Amino acid sequence: MMRFEGNEAADETVQRAMTVRRAARLTMIEEEGCWEAVKRRDKSQDGRFFFGVMTTGVYCRPSCPARQPLRKNVRFFRTPAEAERDGLRACLRCRPLAAIGADVNTKAVGELCRYIEAHCDHSLSLEDLGERAGISPFHLQRSFKAIVGLSPKRYQEACRLKKLKGELRSGEQVTGAIFGAGYGSVSRVYEKADTQLGMTPSQYRQRGKGVRISFASFESPLGSMTIGATDRGLCFVQFGESPQDLETALRREYPAAKVEPMLAPYSAEFELWMAALSAHLEGQYPDLDLPLDVRATAFQMKVWRYLQTIPYGEVQSYGEVAAGIGQPTASRAVARACASNQVA
């Protein structure tokens, strides 16, 4: 029988690799012990093994605070490399690579977060932050967002809003609190009041006096979550150990408001929105696509679809949009289409 030269060596290499992989596998008894550690969220086991959730495609450290998966969907690994060979990616919540010191950017980004928190009222460019962290602006943007979940700019905005709330709660006058938090003008804060505070800064300063807040709690992949909303927008979105703890935190933040649970059963639209949000938090949909009931003419839909292609943060005139959809003389019709969009 003819054999090609090198076959014996190749066979030996394959056998050696299979032996290593068999030795790396956990026994049934070890797996049960690992599962018990995962259920306890045992931090002492971090770095000793990792578990992958095959339905979401991520692997975690045992103490991961995210909602625990079903046992049938879990696979255990001794090293991150084994998990990644099975097509899994590192969890953004618990950062399993950091447990073995392999996530080199985690410490740098953590220190940068503390710096941003302390200087959120200053102008901080991506270049300045990158130089401080010793990371190029491009890689800083990617690493920061992967580790924190927000870009450096959005993180600074969140810190600035937190500082504004603290100033208002301490009794500081509205104008002084706004400028003290680093905002360039009063109007910019009021423009974002509905989406960031759910009420005016004056109402927040008065701890929600005269404001009615409805809230709902549900279990998300990141644990218990409570959403509070006024008739102007969201005013409270928090994760916690239990719905009771979160309700207490909501009432503590707005002691003068009328706080009441959202009436059950929730609307079908709200249930669909929550299902989409849960799927997003599980990592199934990187871009959150909320269920919408949109009725429009063909022209309006054409305009709205074009608007979705404009890069985040950029602004275009009605004339530019008209030219973009191939109808440069239809700027007035474009304006009407934008004004008609009820779910912008």
Tokens 């602004």 correspond to 315
Instruction: Output Rg (C-alpha) for the chain, integer angstroms.
Output: 26
CB atoms within 10 A of CB 113: 18
**Cα distance between residue 266 and residue 259, in whole Å:** 17
User: How far apart are the C-alpha atoms of 211 and 54, rounded to whole Å?
Assistant: 44
Largest CA distance in the chain: 92
- Nearby residues of 289 by Cβ (< 8 Å), 6 or more positions away: 276
**Which residue has 């504004």 as its token pair?**
164
| Euclidean distance between CA atoms 155 and 215, whole angstroms | 25
The DSSP code for 308 is: T
Tokens 């990644």 correspond to: 84
Look at strands 89-90 and 74-77 and give their pairing. unpaired
The pair phi, psi for residue 191, each rounded to 5°, is -65, -35
Residue 93, CA atoms < 13 Å, CB-side half-sphere: 18
Catalytic residue numbers read: 60, 64, 91, 94
β-pair partners for 213: 259
Tokens of 34: 């690992």
The first and second tokens of residue 210, run together, are 């005269």
